[in-house]
A and B are shown apart, each in its own frame.
Chain A
């Protein structure tokens, strides 16, 4: 965890030297946050949500609308965006939490499409296809000091702080009784019910929390892009976050989504610079991953470590054997 945060925190020092730019780090971090929240459902709950872009988008629109219509500042806007997403997420969760597997996935897609459609068509509120423009990055007003977040670097540090808080929170969450029961439900929903757990409530809460985190990421994204538009809510975008989680190895590791988001955005930027068809290559990479390394980057890393440990153990066992051989 420290490594991730230190690497991220120092990006302003070295990012431009390796030919990248600060804004990229912001976007990567936002996607990491989104993917981490998504993985709470997919990796820990075994609940496939393929419509999660909607909550990312709702967070972005909510932040924008709170600022443009109600003049909300930074913290009110962020908290408000998270609350709005949480309420809508909770509502959707209430409809889907008695389902699992493919039916769960289909329902999440359906609800995702509903929100996407609303965002695209409700011109008077969402600005339709054009979205909301001119969303500002409000100043951070703490008790004694005002900090402008207008520069990418300042905003980066603010986003990093939010990210760090969410990261610690999620880490605690997945290792708390709640997280462990959620994991147990993924493995065996029926048994979990028969030992007395309220399976529905766990699933409902997991979705609501996950949607709220998507909303937080979306609100940051609205600040980063200084706009909110329906595209982020598309099925497309919802698919990206699933791919990030899977490529990174979210099914086997907390850090999977972090790796996955990094790989995805870097691929997009680096490949995207060479070819318009970067998504084609990324798609192929995804197929290869799923075929040969279904547990993702993190899974590959764990398997490698397990193999090394096994080799070390067997080497250890050989010693007495060799000693025996000498004696006879």
Chain B
């Protein structure tokens, strides 16, 4: 078996006396789209936070592209090519959509301590940022203030900012949270176009959304991975069947 792009081994995380993650092991293969699902409070977001460096795990290890990244800061992890979006929106609200993407771009990151050059005049970086906006369908809103965008547009921009860092692996935390059917469909379409271009991991509790997109799915419950497999395999999983997925069968 080939070495996965991303591998988490026996992660354990507790807050106070509450164990949130109990020995979680996950593998994400290069080029695949993996879904992580589970009920509310199952530890999905905590799991993401540990995987992307926001929290340090108490035990266990995280490897990305063959490198041990356990306990590294989010900044270092981001620089290695791992990017994430947030369930609760995390944008630079006073900046335009274009500048949101631009600030996240590796070009600006490299030249961030340049104190004399003009941010607004770097046309190459602006063009690249504009391309990212086009990918997430926000080209027309490039000059609109992020705080003034509609909820659905902000969801798309959330993904755009994560994409702007030119990641190898993209984590999306509930990209459809709070969206209606139409908005969810638009995000699904967007993610479908990104699929195969890079490795993607999505947390979602909208199972229909996930089953339609993912190559593989891991089900997390009580801080543990309780089931894993392709969407087809999981349809026959007793847990998945019990949790009102009759509509998918």
Q: What residues of chain A have their CB less than 8 Å away from a CB belonging to chain B?
A: 172-173, 175-181, 183-184, 187-188, 190-199, 201-202, 205
Contacts and interface: CB of A to CB of B under 8 A. Distances in A.
A297 to B, nearest CB: 19
A191 B116 CA distance: 24
Contacts, number: 98
B6 interface: no
A178 B112 contact: yes
Contacts of A184: 92, 95, 103
B74 interface: yes
A27 B91 CA distance: 41
A180 B98 CA distance: 13
Contacts of B118: 172, 175-176
B75 A199 contact: yes
B101 to A, nearest CB: 10
B126 to A, nearest CB: 12
Contacts of B165: 195-196
15 contacts: A176-B114, A178-B115, A181-B112, A187-B92, A191-B104, A192-B92, A194-B78, A194-B83, A195-B103, A195-B104, A195-B162, A195-B165, A196-B109, A199-B75, A205-B113
A193 B111 CA distance: 16
Contact of A193 (B74, B94, B99, B106): B74
- Looking at A177, A187, A199, which has the most chain B CB atoms within 10 Å of its CB? A177
A192 to B, nearest CB: 8
Interface residues of B, number: 38
B78 A196 contact: yes
A299 B235 CA distance: 58
A180 B115 CA distance: 10
A199 B54 CA distance: 14
A196 B83 CA distance: 9
Main secondary structure of the interface of A (DSSP, over half): helix
Interface in B215-239: none
B115 A176 contact: yes
A299 to B, nearest CB: 13
B37 interface: no
Given A190-B74, A196-B109, 4 more contacts: A173-B116, A181-B103, A183-B95, A187-B92
A178 B90 contact: no
Given A175-B119, A187-B92, A191-B91, A202 B164 contact: no
Contact of B119 (A179, A192, A197): A179
Contacts of A187: 92-95
B198 interface: no
A195 B94 contact: no
Please name the 3 residue pairs, one residue from A and one from B, whose CB atoms are nearest each other, closest first. A196-B78, A195-B104, A191-B90
Contacts of B117: 176-177
A197 B114 CA distance: 13
Contacts of A202: 112
B92 A177 contact: no
Contact of B109 (A179, A188, A197): A197
A178 B113 contact: yes
A131 to B, nearest CB: 34
B119 A180 contact: yes
A190 B99 CA distance: 17
A54 to B, nearest CB: 24
